[in-house]
Amino acid sequence: SCKEHEKGSLLKFLDGLSQDGGLTSSWKDGTDCCKWEGIVCSLDGTITGILLASKSLEGPISGSLGNLTELRHLNLSHNSLSGGLPMELVSSRSIAILDISFNQLNGELHSLPSSNPAQPLQVLNISSNLFTGSFPSTIWKAMENLIALNASNNSFTGAMPTGFCKSSPSFTVLELYFNKLSGSIPLELGDCTMLTVLRAGYNLSGTLPDELFNAISLEHLAFPNNDLHGALDGACIINLRNLQTLDLGGNNFRGKIPDSIGQLKRLEMFHLDYNNMSGELPSALSNCTNLITVDLKENNFNGELGKFTGEIPQEVGQLKALLSLNLSFNHLTGQIPQSICNLANLQVLDFSNNNLTGTIPAVLSNLHFLSRFNVSNNDLEGPIPSGSQFNTFPTSSFDGNNKLCGPMIIQKCGSAEAPPASILSAKKN
């Protein structure tokens, strides 16, 4: 059964809470604390885990938990805990997994004494709290075993932390989304050859450093809504052959999408919306056959949309996973390619605010899952496809300069062309 002094540390934690979510009914002095709710012990009765996610706990986290010398796993996520992160936990000689995400913890992270020996910490999730201040550079030096740091959704300021990859060779996940970080992307990230997830926003500036493309294990690379600029280097980007997510939306990137994008065969999500990209859409994009979302809206792309598919229409049909295609607010010309109808899973199709001409291919009525559709503000003409899903789209989806006709907007039918048969028969009645 559990050790008396360890039970004391747990009771001290419980006493400190202002709201224990009913924990007292299980955590009773005089009973074996290894049997208490959320407590995991080793065979000899030493506490190794405290798993109390989503238990409606409120109040501060007592530093007494740092006295549990074999505690490896502490998960207090999704509660309403407040106050600071006790230094005893960060500098614990046993904790490998520390997840305190989704609470209201605040204050700054303190640096560890430089004499601190190597830390066992592997996973640190402090995301979705109210932490402030900058990342103390010394904190990472001792963390030789760190694999994942998730600090998203706080109010951290200052530069992106670096140095993990030299000190922790297995470093894999760095999430810094939704903070107030500033400065440029550190070149040292290129040392992180095991890094698979890198997400950071929202105030970074500068360019994507060439060194970053040495992090060849990257699967998810996201720097949305920063102030990054420069061109996308085609020779660099093909180093990241494992990329599944590339999100550079809401920046100031310019130039063309490099043809080498077609070599990122695993790409599922490609976001370059709200940038200053220009030129034609590379037909090579149709080689990325695992794409699920492509978001290129609000740029300066031009050229014929038909070219995106025109040269290799059979390949575009291979983008079978595509769920969403938004190319609105560009300068695309030419016709809507027939081959779009091969994208059988497509739910969102937005070509609005371009200069497209010709008709909407009737075969688009085969896109049975289409739930959002917009071709407004183009120069399209002729009938709206007859599929029943087209009856559910608002008139505004077809408005603008277009001269489209269909059951809901008969008045816009070009007089030169015969109205479609469905309308003729409606008139006869």
**Segment interacting with ligand NAG, rule: CB under 6 A, options 60-68, 159-167, 234-242, 355-363:** 60-68
Question: Which residues, including other chains, have CB under 8 Å from residue 30's CB and lie 6 or more apart?
Answer: none
Amino acid at 39: I
Does the protein bind ligand NAG through residue 97 (CB under 6 A)? yes
As a whole number of angstroms, the distance between CA 278 and CA 398 comes to 25
Does the protein bind ligand NAG through residue 168 (CB under 6 A)? no
**Segment interacting with ligand NAG, rule: CB under 6 A, options 19-27, 119-127, 211-219, 337-345:** 119-127
Site map for ligand NAG, 326-345, x if CB under 6 A?
A: x-xx----------------
Does the protein bind ligand NAG through residue 376 (CB under 6 A)? no
Min dist. Cβ of residue 312 to ligand NAG (A): 25
Q: Write the DSSP assignment of 137-206 as a string of letters.
A: GGGGTT-TT--EEE--SSEEEESPP--HHHH-TT--EEEE-SSEE-S---GGGGG-TT--EEEE-SS-EE
Residue nearest to ligand NAG (CB): 125
Residue number, 320 or 331, with CB nearest to ligand NAG: 331
Residue number, 369 or 422, with CB nearest to ligand NAG: 369
Residue number, 4 or 44, with CB nearest to ligand NAG: 4
Q: Are 116 and 142 in contact (CB under 8 A)?
A: yes
Residue of 128, 162, 179, 225 that binds ligand NAG (CB under 6 A): 128
Question: Which residues, including other chains, have CB under 8 Å from residue 429's CB and lie 6 or more apart?
Answer: none
Q: Are 144 and 124 in contact (CB under 8 A)?
A: no
Residue number, 250 or 306, with CB nearest to ligand NAG: 250
Half-sphere exposure of 174 (CA within 13 A, CB side): 27
**Segment interacting with ligand NAG, rule: CB under 6 A, options 161-169, 322-330, 362-370, 405-413:** 322-330
Q: Are 407 and 391 in contact (CB under 8 A)?
A: yes
As a whole number of angstroms, the distance between CA 58 and CA 109 comes to 20
Does the protein bind ligand NAG through residue 12 (CB under 6 A)? yes
- At residue 361's C-alpha, the angle toward residues 360 and 367, to 5°, is 105
* Site residues (vs ligand NAG, CB under 6 A): 5, 12, 53, 63-64, 67, 75, 77, 88, 97, 99, 101-102, 123, 125, 127-128, 148, 150, 152-153, 173, 175, 197, 252, 254, 276, 278, 297-298, 326, 328-329, 348, 350, 372, 374
